[in-house]
Amino acid sequence: MLSRNQLRCDRGRVLVVPALATMGPMGRGEALRCSPRRSAVLAVLMVGGILVAGCSSVFGPKGTLGPGSIIRGRGLYSEVISRTSDEQTLRAIVQMRYGESIGLLTVANITASLKFSTSVGAQFGYGPSSNFERNLVPLSTGVAYEESPTISYTPVKGERYVRNLLSPIGLEILVLFGGIERGAEGIMKLLLKQVNGLRNPLHGEVDDRAPFDRAVHLLAQLRRAGLADLTASPDAAQAFALVIHGYAPEERQAVQELLRLFKISGSPERDGGDIVLPLRLAVGSGERSRLDVQTRSILDVLHIAAAGVRVPPEHIEVGVTNSALDDIHLPGGFLEIQRSSERPPRGRAMVAIRHHGWWFYIAAADGPSKFGFRLVDTLLTMVQEGRQPSAPVVTIPAR
């Protein structure tokens, strides 16, 4: 196999070519003398060999371009879609802070096509070989392909969009989010307006929500100990319930305080058995053997998230921000969106967008804010539900 060989033909012409396994077992520096016709034939054969070698490097063994495209394409498209979705969510939050209209686009379809091109070139020298030796590329070939994606977007708007944005979050979603072990207390403070008369207002003094905060803290404490769960109700007439179970005598005091805050009548905890409190979406009721809950809307959650945007003081002074969000109560460590006059360095931001001449971003090292952002992003995808017949279709060519 040649590492670099010279094929010498008559009249002093020299052809320098790269090593090819198909050229035969010539040793290093071995010479081959040939006529001009034989030189031309040899050049054609070499071009064909290089084309075959080039195509095999693109297509892979047994034509693996299709699987190769999937390997390369799936990860890249998934990464780009996720990044642009994060940027759209962050932009919506920042625009909400500035009191501006938000617009959402959902990816409907992605189609990619491949275009192939090949090129062949040759250089031959005349005269003494010392004039051009090692300066020519006698034969050159190229095989290239270009991927051209077409991405279709669908605007999110209309009656369904407004209904999803303004409707209270359903009990099923509340129970699903309430089942997340991490940040359970913050999730309840984010999604709930009131429980059995315990109010959790966005505005007002801290004392106004103190009983609610205490009840949610006790519930989170029992959940972390594995003694309380929001789950499907064992009663067929009720869909979901809060079940307090398996608590020991040392937890009885916390259970009693929680039930007292929720204004549950009687003493269902006296025998140490399971306590099942059905959940119902309602403002309140005279019946005190269940939990009447009122949930926030996704628009409310966006307002809370927007209150976590650190806007420049000069924007507040000139009144370009939404002043109604200035005194919103934020659940501890829920979401904080930083600002910078310059783009944050690579690796310092999970996601960043530019708005009104400033950069707004989620710090990559801020775990609680990243978690809160993921919650908001997940809820915001619910607004887009029903805008397309199915999930986005990504079409990647196999040939």
Closest CA to 106 of 156, 149, 55, 44: 156
The pTM for the full model equals 0.70
Beta strands in 60-188 (DSSP E): 104-122, 139-156
Q: Are 92 and 100 in contact (CB under 8 A)?
A: no
% of the chain exceeding 90 in pLDDT: 34
Q: What's the pLDDT score for residue 121?
A: 73
* Amino acid identity, position 391: A
Banded model confidence at residue 343, pLDDT cuts 50, 70, 90:
very high
Tell me the residue length of the chain: 399
Amino acid residing at 147:
E
Domain ranges for the chain: 5-60+120-140, 189-292
Taking only the tens place, the pLDDT of each residue in 228-253 is 998 887 666 668 999 998 888 888 88
Residue 33, pLDDT above cutoff 80:
no
Among 56-60, 88-92, 185-189, 375-379, where is mean pLDDT lowest?
Answer: 56-60
Per-residue model confidence as pLDDT tens digits over 140-174: 777 666 666 677 777 777 788 888 889 999 999 99
Total Cβ atoms within 10 A of residue 228? 26
Residue 126's pLDDT band (cuts 50, 70, 90): low
Separation of alpha carbons 90 and 225, rounded Å: 35
6 pLDDT above the threshold of 50: no
* CA neighbor of 277 nearest in space, from 254, 296, 258, 294: 258
Closest CA to 176 of 331, 375, 371: 375
Phi and psi (nearest 5°) for 115?
-125, 130
Burial class (CB in 10 A: 0-12, 13-18, 19+), 144: exposed
- Report pLDDT for 214: 94
**Residue closest to 378 by CA, chosen among 302, 293, 310, 295:** 302
Instruction: Tell me the three state secondary structure of residue 36.
Output: helix
Structure tokens given for 168 = 């209270």
The Cα diameter of the chain in Å comes to 112
Calculate the average pLDDT of the chain. Answer: 76
Q: Whose CA is closest to 119, among 136, 143, 138?
A: 143
- At residue 218, the pLDDT reads 93
pLDDT above 50: residue 181: yes
> Residue 26: what pLDDT?
40
Region for 252 from its dihedrals, namely left if φ exceeds 0, alpha if ψ lies in -120 to 50, beta otherwise: alpha
Averaged pLDDT, 243-272: 81
Neighbours of 3 (CB within 10 A): 8
